[in-house]
């Protein structure tokens, strides 16, 4: 069966979102629907729809009478995302830590995953993001859960850069394992202390991570940008 207009619209949205999340556009670059449509080999209409959705998710910028543009990684904004998200996670633990559950695959993945394994950064980032969502779900608040989904998107590029450093990779894996252990033995104090410790270490590295992210976005080749 041929793809429907809705199928094409959803596909275009997800493809364009992936490019945006991985900063495949130069900082401040105008996002022309026609140019992007040619790049993705689709019509301009679903691209315009996708850009409007991404603007609603605060993933691309919009200037009146000028159109959409690629956002630039910003230290202050990224720090704000982390501080707000971790407050939600702490609240989730405070509210229903006794209801926390994690699957065996996640636990084993954190304890045994090897830095030299192909795709290890993406794999660990996915485990971390899923864990954040599980903790946010403890709040019982749909707005907070939606905020953590947005946080995962907004910070994925920085998260992957952070995990590329072998020492950071192992440290983060150990910290996340300790967080799960604290939650499973229902030690709310240790779990919250773990989250705050992780947050503070991440914020201490944020300036370097954002600088590296901007440099990569600026130096990306045409082939890399086309993905």
> In whole numbers, what is the pLDDT of the chain averaged over residues?
90
| Rounded distance between C-alpha atoms, residue 194 and residue 82, angstroms | 15
On the CB side of 190, CA atoms within 13 Å amount to: 13
pLDDT at 117: 74
User: Would you call 181 helix, strand, or coil by DSSP?
Assistant: helix
Q: Class of the 5-72 domain?
A: mainly alpha
Cα dihedral sign, 99-102-107-110: negative
Inter-residue contact 85 to 127 (CB < 8 Å): no
| pLDDT tens for each residue of 196-227 | 999 999 999 999 999 999 998 888 654 455 55
Q: Which tokens hold the place of 78? A: 């990224």
* Residue 133 confidence (pLDDT): 95
CA distance 135 to 89: 6
Q: Which residue has the higher pLDDT, 83 or 226?
A: 83
Q: Which residue has 């041929």 as its token pair?
A: 2
- pLDDT band of residue 187 (cuts 50, 70, 90) is very high
What is residue 2's predicted lDDT score, i.e. its pLDDT? 61
Structure confidence by residue, pLDDT tens digits, 132-152: 999 999 999 999 999 999 999
Q: Indicate the CATH number for domain 75-217.
A: 1.20.120
Q: Indicate the pTM of the whole model.
A: 0.86
Q: End-to-end alpha-carbon separation of the chain, Å?
A: 27
| 11 within 8 A of 43, measured Cβ to Cβ | no
- So what's the pLDDT on residue 15? 93
Single out the residue of 201, 180, 42, 44 nearest to residue 110, CA to CA. Answer: 180
Q: What is the pLDDT of residue 103?
A: 74
> Which tens digits make up the pLDDT trace of 98-117?
999 877 777 666 666 677 77
**Spatial distance between the Cα atoms of 60 and 21, rounded to a whole number of angstroms:** 10
Burial class (CB in 10 A: 0-12, 13-18, 19+), 132: buried
* Domain range list for the chain: 5-72, 75-217
**What pLDDT is recorded for position 104?**
73
pLDDT tens digits for range 59-70: 999 988 889 999
Sign of the torsion formed by the C-alpha atoms of 19, 20, 26 and 28: positive
How much is the average pLDDT of 40-63? 93
Do 75-217 and 5-72 fall under one CATH topology?
A: no
Tell me: the pLDDT tens digits for 144-174? 999 999 999 999 999 999 999 999 999 999 9
176-186 pLDDT, tens digit per residue, is: 999 999 999 99
Query: What's the chain's length in residues?
Result: 227
Which positions ≥6 away from 112 have C-beta within 8 Å? none
């Amino acid at each position: 069966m041929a793809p429907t207009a809705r199928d094409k619209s959803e596909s275009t949205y997800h493809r364009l979102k992936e490019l945006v999340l991985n900063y495949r556009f130069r900082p401040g670059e105008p996002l022309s629907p026609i140019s992007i449509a040619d790049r993705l080999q689709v019509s301009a209409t679903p691209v315009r729809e996708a850009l409007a959705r991404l603007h609603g998710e605060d993933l691309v910028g919009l200037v009146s009478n000028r159109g959409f543009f690629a956002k630039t990684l910003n230290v202050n904004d990224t720090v704000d995302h982390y501080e707000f998200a971790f407050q939600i996670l702490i609240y989730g633990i405070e509210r229903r830590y006794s209801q926390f559950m994690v699957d065996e695959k996640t636990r084993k993945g954190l304890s045994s995953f090897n830095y030299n394994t192909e795709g290890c950064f993406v794999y660990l980032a996915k485990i971390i993001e899923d864990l954040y969502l599980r903790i946010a779900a403890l709040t019982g608040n749909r707005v907070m859960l939606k905020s953590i989904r947005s946080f995962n998107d907004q910070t994925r590029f920085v998260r992957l850069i952070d995990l590329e450093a072998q020492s950071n990779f192992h440290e983060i894996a150990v910290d996340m394992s300790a967080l799960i252990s604290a939650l499973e033995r229902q030690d709310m104090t240790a779990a919250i202390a773990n989250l705050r410790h992780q947050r503070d270490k991440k914020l201490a590295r944020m300036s370097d991570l954002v600088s590296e992210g901007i440099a990569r976005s600026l130096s990306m080749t045409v082939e890399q940008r086309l993905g």
